[in-house]
């Protein structure tokens, strides 16, 4: 059986094109998976930051009850304003 050069070139070109398509499909698929993982990580970080803000607020409240009034009330007011602004941004 004799196969001429143009047939071999066509087959190699087809295989190369299929390999290239598979390679880029795989890269895009992996990129999308990575983005989904990062989205989940960001959501977890946001939840943790919310908890940290509430813990800081409770700590500042405790310091105010102990009459540590140097810069504690200023920090507490700023934290309360920040929490309030974030809460309203999330509701929109």
27-76 per-position pLDDT tens digit: 999 999 999 999 999 999 999 998 999 999 999 999 999 998 889 999 99
Query: Higher-confidence residue: 42 or 86?
Result: 42
What pLDDT is recorded for position 10? 95
Residue 26 three-state SS: helix
What pLDDT is recorded for position 92? 41
Q: Which residue carries 């998976």 as its tokens? A: 33
Query: Higher-confidence residue: 82 or 1?
Result: 82
Question: Is residue 56 within 8 Å of residue 79, measured between CB atoms?
Answer: yes
What pLDDT is recorded for position 27? 97
What pLDDT is recorded for position 90? 60
Triad 57, 84, 75: Cα angle to 5°? 40
Cα–Cα distance measured from residue 14 to residue 22, given in angstroms and rounded to the nearest whole number? 12
* Distance spanning both ends of the chain, measured CA to CA: 73
Environment class of 60 (CB within 10 Å of its CB; exposed 0-12, middle 13-18, buried 19+): buried
């Amino acid at each position: 059986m004799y196969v001429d050069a143009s047939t071999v070139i066509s087959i190699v070109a087809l295989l190369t094109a299929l390999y290239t398509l598979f390679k880029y499909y795989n890269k895009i698929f992996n990129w999308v998976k990575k983005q989904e993982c990062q989205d989940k990580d960001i959501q977890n970080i946001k939840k943790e930051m919310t908890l940290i803000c509430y813990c800081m607020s409770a700590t500042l409240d405790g310091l105010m009850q102990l009459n540590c009034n140097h810069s504690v009330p200023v920090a507490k007011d700023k934290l309360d304003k920040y929490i309030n602004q974030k809460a309203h941004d999330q509701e929109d």
